[in-house]
Amino acid sequence: MSDPNRRWPPQVGPAAQDARVPFGARGPIVNIVKRDGRVEPFNRDKIVESIRNSGATQPQANLVADRVTARLAPRTSVPSQEVSTMVARSLSHVNPTASQNYTDARDQKLAYNQQVNRLSAEISSINQQVNSVSARIEGLDGQIKSLPGRIARVRQSNYRVLTHLETDQTALSEDWSKLGPELRSTASLKSEMARTRVRDLQQALSIKVGKGDYNIDNLQEIEAGIPELRASLSDMQGSVVSALSPLEEKFATLDQDLSRAESTLSLLEAASFPWEEKETPILAIRAKDLNSDQEGVITLTNLKFVFEQEKEIVLKKTLFVVTEKKVVREVVAQKPIGMITGIAAGRVGFFKGSGLFVKFASESGIPEKKFDTSGEDADWATKTFNYIISGQADKELEASAPTEVESKKQQKGPQLVTCPVCGAPYTEKIYRGQTSVNCKYCGAVITIQ
């Protein structure tokens, strides 16, 4: 009977011995890219060991390792699965049985690692969800506590409308003071129970992986613990999140209005127009006037509509190169709010994006304007205009200034406006939001109280 190893002399010559010198010692190190993205230098000894564990002889292992090493020589980075395929293919020519064993062991290890990764990811995901419940409680607590300061700041900046902010904030704080401590206690107890189970499963999984036994059945114990962990999470969410969600929704509604007020005041910090004595900002949004192709800011107050154009001003040049500049705003259109006959959201522009249509009274001398803006801002502008012309804004302003209400109640019928210079009566229509008019006889400015 012939010796199956006859083709591979047991005595290895000097050339072959030289070929078995680690590849990194003779040239550039080949980096092996693992399936999980890790990178490590090619190690010939690991190849030899894995081939020997598959049942091949030492000479066979050396020969295959040399062939794979030679094929990798011109390259600097190779995927691990490609190296594995090279080994299996080369080994199949010298020992088919060992090649099959090598492939089976590789596939078993791959399946095992995939299962380990899946279990680890699932345990980590549940743990994150457990932690997120506690984080939501603390997050809502901080958000509710921040409301009084935020509201105070907008009031200090003369934002006098949306008076429901205070009442809604007070009601929400009272609800939270009653429910918050109980939610914290329940979440703390249930989350600690879930985290303990998470730690147990993670530790058990780590021990299994450390043994180096790639029998996937060994992971059944970990697999069986996942449903119990999910049940703990579900119990926690059912008792805590269900009670937390209504409060989060109330905060979200309040935060939306307050954030819009804060955004409006931020935009108006650079406003270029003067404020009237009884004027308060209500809404400011960024928009582009499609009639003139001007970028700018639309402002709606209780008294007027304003559109300001934004433009860059060069402050300094060095060798004809602009080295310093700033953005300034200037009023392009400013009319009493009563001269606006309609604001509607719609599709504007060549690409029919979200925008606004603003119509003016004929006396204003301004044609309908089309503004390109976001869909959300367009909706807010429409709601704000209706809020102003419906009288709701005035009611809230009057409620915050009772002395003004009393003085208005004492007024009998329409107020007669006369020129303080020539004494002539002003008989033209006075639009809502107008604070002054010009006398038709002498041209003097008449202030409207």
pLDDT tens for 184-228 read: 999 999 999 999 999 999 999 999 988 888 899 999 999 999 999
Sequence-distant contacts of 210-218: CB under 8 A, at least 24 apart = 214/105, 214/108, 214/109, 214/112, 214/113, 215/108, 215/112, 216/108, 216/111, 216/112, 216/115
pLDDT above 70 (res 401): no
**Which one is predicted more confidently, 299 or 313?**
299
pLDDT for the residue numbered 18: 41
**Which one is predicted more confidently, 15 or 290?**
290
Of 51, 73, 59, 77, the C-alpha closest to 12 is 59
Sequence-distant contacts of 351-356: CB under 8 A, at least 24 apart = 354/378, 355/287, 355/290, 356/287, 356/298, 356/381, 356/382
Task: Name the pLDDT band for 324 (thresholds 50, 70, 90).
Answer: confident
pLDDT above 60 (res 15): no
- 374-393 pLDDT, tens digit per residue, is 999 999 999 999 999 999 99
Mean pLDDT of the chain: 85
Q: 276 lies in a domain?
A: no
Asked if 370 contacts 364 with a C-beta cutoff of 8 angstroms, the reply is no
Mean predicted confidence (pLDDT) in 105-126: 93
Q: Which of 235, 268, 301 is the last residue of a domain?
A: 268
Asked if residue 122 and residue 143 are part of one domain, the reply reads yes
Task: Name the pLDDT band for 424 (thresholds 50, 70, 90).
Answer: low
The SS3 assignment for 36 reads coil
Q: Which of 67, 94, 121 is the last residue of a domain?
A: 94
pLDDT for the residue numbered 212: 83
- 50-94 pLDDT, tens digit per residue, is 999 999 999 999 999 999 988 887 788 899 999 999 999 999 999
pLDDT for the residue numbered 12: 40
Domain extent, residue 34, equals 14-94
pLDDT for the residue numbered 406: 43
3-state helix, strand, coil in the chain (%, to 5): 55, 20, 25
End-to-end CA distance of the chain: 122
Highest mean pLDDT among 106-115, 168-177, 268-277: 168-177
Asked if residue 446 and residue 358 are part of one domain, the reply reads no
pLDDT above 80 (res 336): yes
Structure tokens at 389: 């012309």
What string of DSSP letters covers 307-364? EEEEEEEEEEEETTEEEEEEEEEEEEEEEEGGGEEEEEEEEETTTTEEEEEEEE-GGG
Of 226, 236, 238, the C-alpha closest to 188 is 236
pLDDT for the residue numbered 276: 87
Helix (DSSP H) and strand (DSSP E) numbers for the chain: 11, 12
Please say whether the dihedral angle defined by the alpha carbons of residues 407, 411, 415 and 417, taken in this order, is positive or negative. Answer: negative
Q: 407 lies in a domain?
A: no
- 339-372 pLDDT, tens digit per residue, is 999 999 998 866 677 889 999 998 888 999 999 9
Q: List Cα–Cα distances, 95 to 17, 48, 90, 184, 199, in angstroms.
A: 21, 14, 9, 65, 45
Asked if residue 255 and residue 125 are part of one domain, the reply reads yes
Of 14, 19, 118, 119, the C-alpha closest to 62 is 19
Which segment of 110-124, 126-140, 313-327 scores lowest on mean pLDDT? 313-327
Q: List Cα–Cα distances, 322 to 206, 326, 328, 358, in angstroms.
A: 62, 11, 16, 37
pLDDT above 70 (res 325): yes
Q: 203 lies in a domain?
A: yes
Asked if residue 256 and residue 336 are part of one domain, the reply reads no
Asked if residue 68 and residue 37 are part of one domain, the reply reads yes
pLDDT above 70 (res 278): yes
pLDDT above 90 (res 413): no
Of 150, 257, 152, 137, the C-alpha closest to 190 is 137
CATH assignment of the domain containing 378: 2.30.29.30
Distance of CA 338 to the CA centre of its chain: 39
Q: 6 lies in a domain?
A: no
Q: 115 lies in a domain?
A: yes
- 228-265 pLDDT, tens digit per residue, is 999 989 988 888 988 999 999 999 999 999 999 999 99
Q: Which of 268, 301, 333 is the last residue of a domain?
A: 268
Cα 44 from Cα 62, distance rounded (Å):
9
Asked if residue 27 and residue 90 are part of one domain, the reply reads yes
pLDDT above 60 (res 151): yes
Task: Indicate the pTM of the whole model.
Answer: 0.67
Geometric angle at alpha carbon 297, from 292 and 303, rounded to 5° = 110
pLDDT above 50 (res 26): no
- 155-177 pLDDT, tens digit per residue, is 999 899 999 999 999 999 999 99
Q: 342 lies in a domain?
A: yes
Task: Name the pLDDT band for 444 (thresholds 50, 70, 90).
Answer: confident
Mean predicted confidence (pLDDT) in 323-349: 89
Asked if residue 257 and residue 170 are part of one domain, the reply reads yes
Of 280, 252, 229, the C-alpha closest to 387 is 280
Which segment of 8-17, 215-224, 314-323 scores lowest on mean pLDDT? 8-17
What string of DSSP letters covers 272-284? -SPPPTT--EEEE
Task: Name the pLDDT band for 427 (thresholds 50, 70, 90).
Answer: low
Q: How many domains does the chain have?
A: 4
Asked if residue 143 and residue 242 are part of one domain, the reply reads yes
pLDDT for the residue numbered 290: 92
Asked if residue 444 and residue 358 are part of one domain, the reply reads no
Cα 356 from Cα 382, distance rounded (Å):
8
Q: 64 lies in a domain?
A: yes
Q: 289 lies in a domain?
A: yes
Q: How many CA atoms lie within 13 A of 107 on its CB side?
A: 7
Asked if residue 224 and residue 152 are part of one domain, the reply reads yes
Asked if residue 59 and residue 167 are part of one domain, the reply reads no
Identify the residue whose tokens are 């409680």: 137
pLDDT above 50 (res 275): yes
Asked if 442 contacts 424 with a C-beta cutoff of 8 angstroms, the reply is yes
CB atoms within 10 A of CB 84: 20
Percent of the chain with pLDDT over 90: 60
Q: List Cα–Cα distances, 171 to 144, 174, 175, 395, in angstroms.
A: 11, 5, 6, 22
CB atoms within 10 A of CB 85: 14
pLDDT for the residue numbered 438: 77
Percent of the chain with pLDDT over 70: 83
Asked if residue 134 and residue 248 are part of one domain, the reply reads yes
Mean predicted confidence (pLDDT) in 42-49: 91
Identify the residue whose tokens are 């809404």: 283
- Residue 445's contacts (CB-CB under 8 Å, 6 or more residues apart) are 436, 437, 438, 439
